């Protein structure tokens, strides 16, 4: 699996430092405000679990599942698979946590849906932000890293379901894409 990586863009040490910093920002922002971290499955599970363990103020944890159709390297139409129960949304301060903010479609649609379902506030915290790719107007309230317009895998981020378990973030070699396309 590591042989499929072209270049390591964020090492484990860099990731740790970035999460420490963003966790401090989130902690300061929510001091005295009860809130719920809403992890967007599947990609954010690793980031969310590392993030919340560095936030020493009371919080709850919930999950939503949203996925783009297809196995490619661009985000397609969004499918929202499941949401927290109504009681976990209505009147709550929610912090959506996602792996990467790319076109912005996923988080803007999730924010609209959670607001419609009665959330008092919906903010977001992303592990990676690719501002060059934005297609809708959406900015994260917190982000650990900004990255260039390049498809990345690892630390929760997949290609065709694989590579989420890499402890670092890297780009894929061309052969790794070709292997999937060619079956
Ligand atoms: P958005 O709706 O902001 O375009 O897309 C967010 C989703 O697209 C992410 O949660 C992720 O699943 C996928 N995505 C966007 N860019 C990348 C990338 O560079 N690598 C991987 N693995 N997924 C990406
Ligand atoms: Mg995702």
Query: Which residue among 66, 79, 102, 140 has the greatest number of ligand 1 atoms within 8 angstroms of its CB, and so is best to mutate?
Result: 102
Domain assignment of residue 182, yes or no: no
Atom 11 of ligand 1: nearest residue by CA position: 100
pLDDT in tens, 12-40: 999 999 999 999 999 999 999 999 999 99
| Rg of the chain on CA atoms, in Å | 16
Domain assignment of residue 183, yes or no: no
Residue 182 designated active-site: no
Give the domain CATH number at 136.
Answer: 3.40.50.2020
Alpha-carbon gap, residue 44 to 59, rounded angstroms: 17
Alpha-carbon gap, residue 138 to 111, rounded angstroms: 10
Q: What angle do CA 102, 124, 73 make, to 5 degrees?
A: 20
Is there a cis peptide before residue 62, judged by omega within 30 degrees of 0? Answer: no
Domain assignment of residue 11, yes or no: yes
**Based on the structure, what is the number of domains in the chain?**
1
CB 171 within 8 A of CB 9: yes
Average pLDDT over residues 112-135: 97
Domain assignment of residue 91, yes or no: yes
Query: Which residue among 9, 69, 100 has the greatest number of ligand 1 atoms within 8 angstroms of its CB, and so is best to mutate?
Result: 100
Out of 71, 102, 141, 182, pick the active-site residue.
102
- The pTM score is 0.93
| Structural domain that includes position 9 | 2-177
């Amino acid at each position: 699996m590591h042989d499929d990586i072209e270049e390591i863009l964020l090492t484990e040490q860099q990731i740790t430092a970035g999460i420490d910093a963003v966790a401090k920002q989130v902690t300061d922002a929510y001091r005295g405000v009860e809130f719920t971290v809403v992890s967007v499955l599947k990609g954010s599970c690793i980031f969310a679990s590392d993030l919340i363990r560095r936030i020493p103020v009371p919080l709850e944890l919930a999950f939503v599942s949203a996925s783009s159709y297809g196995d490619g390297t661009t985000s397609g139409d969004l499918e929202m698979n499941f949401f927290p129960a109504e009681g976990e949304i209505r009147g709550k301060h929610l912090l959506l946590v996602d792996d990467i903010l790319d076109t912005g479609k996923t988080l803007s649609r999730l924010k609209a849906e959670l607001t419609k379902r009665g959330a008092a506030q919906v903010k977001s915290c992303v592990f990676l932000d690719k501002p060059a790719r934005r297609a809708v107007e959406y900015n994260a309230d917190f982000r650990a890293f900004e990255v260039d317009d390049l498809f990345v895998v690892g630390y929760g981020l997949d290609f065709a379901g694989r590579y989420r378990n890499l402890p670092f973030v890297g780009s894929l070699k061309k052969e790794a894409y070709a292997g999937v396309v060619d079956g």
